[in-house]
Amino acid sequence: MKNSRKPSHFLCKLNTQYFSRLKWQIGGDNLFKIIGALFASSILLLLGLMVYELINGSWLSIQTFGSGFLIGTKWDPAISRVFGALPLILGTIVTSAIALLIGVPISLGISLALSEYMPKKFGFAISFLVELLAAVPSVIYGLWGIFVLIPFLRDHVYSRLQALFGFVPAFSGSIYGGGVLTGGIVLAIMIIPTVSSVMRDLFSAVPNSQREAMIALGATKWETVKTVISYARSGVIGAVILGLGRAVGETMAITMVIGNKFQVWPSSLFDAWYTMSAIIANELLEATYDLYVSALMNVALVLLFVTLVINILSRLIVWRTLKLVRGISKE
């Protein structure tokens, strides 16, 4: 046969070359569709396997401690072999909250400066740099935290804070350098690129006609900017929750600067504490018996659940706002 591509089926004698080529193309399309679907579904499969593996791994801990694991305040792998995750959960929540408290106003400022105040070209360069910050490996933030941030905060900031607000319990006690506040500050720096770039996208999507409407009413620049924020406000909340998701899941940097001390509540903001991610990173290799490993797996399960819920929630809010904002601007 001259043309080896031609199928040898007898019906194909009726087909012109055009038809057989069309057939081959459709075949290729379908093949690609199937391969694409396989790759896409592998993500779901991976997530499912991960959840299954975590539940499987923490089963022993779940059977032993039940829901008491979530409110237990003892972590004693050496003698009584009792595990409770409440201090870790609190540590994660509090450090993340500090990160939001510091990081969100700064991100809001950065994103408004980029979308509302700066000339476009300059803003583009700055937003490129901000997004570059998101690419810095977490361990480098940790190292920088240990060698630069901790000495700086200890010698120049914390002592002054204590001198000013020492009468408040949160600012009393001895200063080590590393601790709850330092952890929160490092997390804040790490969430700023994500939060500010999402916020910038939201503000840039606000149609110009809204700004002009305000300006024509005799609004000042700041009053116009407030309208822009209110236009995108639900998306801004989504961006904040997205940052929260990142802060909650962050491991390496926080492990390096928080001090890793298992206690229900720290004596002050300068005291050391622990988070869910940090204890897994620190103790998994030392876990010498099944229940210990299972307890760490249980912590991981709680962490995964919390980050998944936070991320899904924030994505939904951001998408909804972007859709709403772009929908109106298209009309």
68 backbone dihedrals φ, ψ, rounded to 5°: -60, -20
Q: State the nearest-atom distance from the C-beta of 222 to other proteins, in Å.
A: 11
As to burial, measured by CB atoms within 10 angstroms (0-12 exposed, 13-18 middle, 19+ buried), residue 141 is buried
Cβ atoms of 257 and 146 within 8 Å: the answer is: yes
What are the backbone angles phi and psi of residue 183, rounded to the nearest 5°?
A: -60, -45
| Complex with other proteins: residue 286 or 331, whichever CB lies closer | 331
* Shortest Å distance, C-beta 223 to other proteins: 6
Handedness of CA 305, 307, 313, 315 (dihedral sign): negative
Q: Is 76 among the residues that bind other proteins (CB under 8 A)?
A: no
For other proteins, the binding residue among 48, 148, 220, 265 (CB under 8 A) is 220
| C-alpha span between 221 and 176 (Å, rounded) | 44
Among 227, 263, 282, 311, binds other proteins (CB under 8 A): 227
Q: Taking CB under 8 A as the rule, does residue 159 contact other proteins? A: no
- Map residues 311-330 to x or -, x wherever contact with other proteins holds by CB under 8 A: -----------------x--
Q: How many C-beta neighbours within 10 Å does residue 259 have? A: 20
Question: Quick one: 156 or 330, whose CB is closer to other proteins?
Answer: 330
| Secondary structure (3-state) at 83 | strand
* Pick 23 or 221: Cβ nearer other proteins: 221
Q: Residues 301, 85: contact at Cβ < 8 Å?
A: no
Candidates 255, 252, 249, 237; CA nearest to 309 is 249
In the range 188-217, which residues lie near other proteins by CB under 8 A?
Answer: 207, 209-210, 212-217
Least distance in angstroms from the C-beta of 228 to other proteins: 11
Tell me how far apart the 2 most distant CA atoms of the chain are, in Å.
Answer: 95
Shortest approach of other proteins to residue 231 CB, angstroms? 6
Tokens of 312: 């899904």
Question: Rounded to whole angstroms, how far apart are CA atoms 11 and 96?
Answer: 68
Q: Give min distance, CB of 121 to other proteins, in A.
A: 10
Q: Using the rule CB under 8 A, is 113 a contact of other proteins?
A: no
Size of the site for other proteins (CB under 8 A): 21
Query: Which of 265, 319 has the CB closer to other proteins?
Result: 319
> Judged by CB under 8 A, which stretch of 82-90, 148-156, 218-226, 280-288 contacts other proteins?
218-226
Residues 6+ apart with CB under 8 A from 205: 232, 322, 325, 326, 329
Residues in 117-156 that interact with other proteins by CB under 8 A: 119-120
Instruction: Of 117, 129, 111, give the one whose Cα is nearest residue 240.
Output: 111
| Minimum CB distance to other proteins, residue 136 (Å) | 32
Minimum CB distance to other proteins smaller for 216 or for 285: 216
Q: Which of 223, 265, 320, 326 is in the footprint of other proteins by CB under 8 A?
A: 223
Residue 134's φ and ψ, nearest 5 degrees, are -70, -20
Specify the residue, 179 or 235, whose C-beta has the smaller distance to other proteins.
235
DSSP per residue, 297-313: HHHHHHHHHHHHHHHHH
Torsion of CA 309, 93, 107, 177, to 10 degrees: -150
Least distance in Å: CB of 138 to other proteins? 37
Contact between 18 and other proteins by CB under 8 A: the answer reads: no
Q: What is the closest distance, in whole angstroms, from the C-beta atom of residue 207 to other proteins in the complex?
A: 8
Q: Does 13 bind other proteins (CB under 8 A)?
A: no
Give the interface with other proteins as residue ranges (CB under 8 A): 119-120, 207, 209-210, 212-220, 223, 227, 230-231, 233, 328, 331
